[in-house]
Structure 1
Amino acid sequence: MILLNISNSSEVIASKVGKFLESLTPDGLDQATVEDIVVSKLIENLKAEGIKGEVATVKGLELQADDIVMHDAMRVRRRERF
């Protein structure tokens, strides 16, 4: 299993739409938008390599040092098989 944590979603959105527009969007929306883009590109590239599998974006997990912390409200936001 691979776990990917994107830590600069707001900066990515700001570089694409501008700092002012980014400041109008909530950080959660920025995170979800960047995750969706990354998942789509990841699936596209894995399919091109002939790899089959499943990708999910999960809300409520947090990486801390060598631990994965699960929060009470953990849920799958998006799940896609390829």
Structure 2
Amino acid sequence: MIVLKISNASEVVASKVGKFLELLTPDSIDHTTVEDQVIKKMVENLAAEGIKGEIAAINGLELDGENLSVHKGLNVRKHAAF
């Protein structure tokens, strides 16, 4: 299993839509938007390589260095099979 943590979602959104609009969007929307785009591209690229599997965006998991924490309300926000 692979865990991917995106730590610069706000900066990515700001570079794509401009700093002013980024200031108007909550960080949770920024993370969701970037995660959804990463999932879409990963599914496209992995499927093109013939790799089969599943990918999910999960709320309630926190990766901090070598520590993985599970929080109350753990759920799958988005799921895709390829």
Same fold (TM over 0.5): yes
| 1:3-82 mapped onto 2 (5 Å cutoff) | 3-82=3-82
Q: State the Cα deviation string for residues 28-77 of structure 1 (Å, max 9, x = none).
A: 00000000000000000000100000000001111122110000011100
- The share of aligned pairs that are identical, in percent, is 59
What is the letter of the counterpart of residue 12 of structure 1? V
The CA distance in 2 between the partners of 1:59 and 1:73, in whole Å, is: 8
The CA distance in 2 between the partners of 1:65 and 1:33, in whole Å, is: 24
SS at match of 2:45: helix
TM-score of the two chains, using structure 1 as the length reference: 0.97
Runs of 4 or more consecutive aligned structure 1 residues displaced over 2 Å after TM superposition: none
Question: Structure 1: which 5+ runs fail to align?
Answer: none
The CA distance in 2 between the partners of 1:19 and 1:60, in whole Å, is: 28
RMSD, matched Cα? 0.6
- The count of corresponding residues between Structure 1 and Structure 2 is 82
